[in-house]
Amino acid sequence: PKSRHAGTRELLPTLPDFSGFIFKIQANMDPRHRDRIAFLRVCTGHFKRDMTVIHTRTGKKVRLSNSHKLFAQERETVDDAFPGDIIGLVGHSEFGVGDTLTTEPSIVFNEIPRFTPETFAFLHNPNTGKYKQFRQGLDQLLQEGVIQILHLRDSATKIPLLGAVGPLQFEVVQYRLESEYGAESRIEPSTWSVVRWLPKEYKDEELDRLSLPSGARLAFDSDSNPVILFANDWSCNYFQETNKGASIAALPPVKPRAV
């Protein structure tokens, strides 16, 4: 196994402290149980089943008692794992892609690249009787990182606005909602194609003072970071010219590590 970067540090696999990061989340690998598996790559130290680790994003201690290796539909309990091994952790809805698990809280990996959505669409639930299944499925897919969700500021509707790198991801969402959760859905494309993040500390008064170009909208991502949705790059550039003091970024701010 190769060394890994955690901030400015390079961690060799021979480091005795246990650490690893979640690189994938998959729901419904066993449809009979509707469970959710977080795949962890062990980077340093010795994993032992039932060990307690720190989930660095939340700062909480977590016991890892349900660990497996997966072979197609078969599962084998894992008692020990070492750098380079991949294990599946079942039953932890709090884990997200990119999260670090470690016995040494100063270790936080930055291994998972973040991509900026380039296409946006509203996801409608045409069958109100299946709202529970629709919402459960959508929440699972959001945790997997298949798509991102945004909430329009001052919007009266609760229809989810999804962001993706490409429209094919919306088709994947619709297919999995129906095949795994029995929930129909309808996609309504939006006119936006560019998103930019504002500083997290912006409050309502700063947002109200912004001069938005025609068609642009303020929204919030799943971490309550303020964003602006633009129709195109020209609209984004125009905003920068007319709001000289406003700072915008193509990626969301890095989540602070819980202390």
User: If we measure between CA atoms, which residue out of 123, 119, 126, 136 comes closest to residue 181?
Assistant: 136
Provide the residue type at 256 as one letter. Answer: P
Burial of 53-79, coded b for 16+ CB within 10 Å and e otherwise, reads bbbbbeeeebebebbbebeeeebeebe
pLDDT tens figures, 112-155: 777 899 999 999 999 999 999 999 999 989 988 889 999 999 88
Question: Are 24 and 72 found together in one domain?
Answer: yes
Among candidate residues 102, 135, 152, the one where a domain is terminated? 102
Q: Is residue 10 part of a domain?
A: yes
Phi then psi dihedrals of residue 69, to 5 deg? -110, 140
pLDDT tens figures, 51-81: 999 999 899 999 999 999 987 678 899 999 9
Provide the residue type at 80 as one letter. Answer: D
pTM: predicted TM-score of the whole model, two decimal places: 0.78
Going across the sheet that includes 119-124, the strands are 186-189, 119-124, 161-164, 148-152, 217-220, 226-230, 194-197
Total number of domains in the chain: 2
- The region, left, alpha or beta by phi > 0 then psi within -120 to 50, assigned to residue 98 is left
Q: How far apart are CA 238 and CA 42, in angstroms?
A: 46
Q: Is residue 217 part of a domain?
A: yes
Q: Is residue 114 part of a domain?
A: no
How many other β-carbons are positioned within 10 Å of the β-carbon of residue 247? Answer: 11
Question: Are 11 and 57 found together in one domain?
Answer: yes
Q: Is residue 162 part of a domain?
A: yes
pLDDT tens figures, 92-109: 888 988 899 999 999 999
Q: Is residue 113 part of a domain?
A: no
Contact call for residues 40 and 101 (beta carbons, < 8 A): yes
Question: Are 185 and 88 found together in one domain?
Answer: no
How many other β-carbons are positioned within 10 Å of the β-carbon of residue 196? Answer: 20
pLDDT tens figures, 153-163: 988 888 999 99
% residues pLDDT > 70 (the chain):
95
Q: How far apart are CA 106 and CA 10, in angstroms?
A: 13
Which helix (H) or strand (E) segment is 81 a member of?
strand 80-81
In which band, very low, low, confident or very high, does the pLDDT at 34 lie, cut at 50, 70 and 90?
A: low
